[in-house]
Amino acid sequence: MAGTDRKREIMTGGPAIILVEPQLGENIGMVARAMANFGLSNLRIVNPRDGWPNEKAISAAARADHVIEGAIVFATLEAALADLSFVYATTARPRDGHKPVKGPVEAGEILRGRENSGERTGILFGRERIGLRNWEVGLADEIVTFPVNPAYASLNIAQAVLLMSYEWMKSGLASPHQTAFDKPDVEPAAKADLHGLFAQIEEGLEARGYFRSETKKMKAVDNLRAVLTRPGFSTDEINVLRGLFASFDRFARPGQRLPAGDGETGDDE
């Protein structure tokens, strides 16, 4: 889905994303893209199989250049973790040991709290084929696992990074219902505008013989007003509707001259 806006300031920071011996440059690039989507920028790569820099990673990153250019390669996992104080290991299967296990929502909130307190944190992601080894999980403080289909629990590393990056971003929102943008502000229509629309429609229907009796007219008008008052029209929307109904009058009464502006629909120039 397209949506890159280079005019806005790029969000950076957050927990380090640590890839342990990734095999494919394309996966590293997709990880960088997922990180950039949700404001993460600290990418650490432990002993990548195909070396670094990697052209396939750059291509797959889809312009997440700041993540790719800032990536740091380490020869060992211990070196990649050396400056961090709290680390999660991601895994899809139970492990021996007594480490606390968290879901992604709780893990995202814990990471946010620790980062806000000045700690340096990270999340470990394993190899495409076999994930993390037990001793590598042992270097982490806690485990994070995803609520996936137990019969098909394997996630691509870019997918796993995307899920945790999303939870990191969500943990910093004022509300879990917050969105990146909202509908534009509109000016609510004054009741006088709405009443003018009622009168115009009723007059047009009367002229066309729509109402068969006074009793039916009263019921039809009540129903019409109930429908038209439900949406809460803006002034522009009222103008669009009045222009629309005015165009019907042209065909019904071609000799009639309409007042100036009645044919306007409110479209942008």
Q: What is the pLDDT along the chain (269 residues), one digit of tens a residue?
A: 455 555 667 878 999 999 999 999 999 999 999 999 999 999 999 999 999 989 999 999 998 999 999 999 999 999 999 999 999 999 987 776 679 999 999 999 999 999 999 999 999 999 988 899 999 999 999 999 998 888 887 889 999 999 999 999 999 887 777 776 666 666 777 788 878 888 888 887 777 777 778 887 888 888 878 877 766 778 888 888 888 878 776 655 544 444 444 444 344 44
Q: What per-residue confidence (pLDDT) applies to 94?
A: 78
Q: Which CATH number fits domain 16-171: 1.20.1250.20, 3.10.100.10, 3.40.120.10, 3.40.1280.10?
A: 3.40.1280.10
CA 59, 63, 67, 71 torsion: positive or negative? positive
Q: What per-residue confidence (pLDDT) applies to 261?
A: 41
pTM exceeds cut of 0.85: no
Q: What per-residue confidence (pLDDT) applies to 259?
A: 45
Q: What per-residue confidence (pLDDT) applies to 184?
A: 67
Amino acid identity of residue 245, one-letter, is F
SS3 readout for 29-96: HHHHHHHHHCCCCCEEEECCCCCCCCHHHHHHCCCCHHHHHHCEEECCHHHHHCCCCEEEEECCCCCC
Count Cβ atoms within 10 A of the Cβ of residue 107 and give its class: 0-12 exposed, 13-18 middle, 19 or more buried: buried
Q: What per-residue confidence (pLDDT) applies to 5?
A: 56
Q: What per-residue confidence (pLDDT) applies to 230?
A: 67
Where are the chain's structural domains? 16-171, 191-252
Domain covering 191-252 in this structure, CATH number: 1.10.8
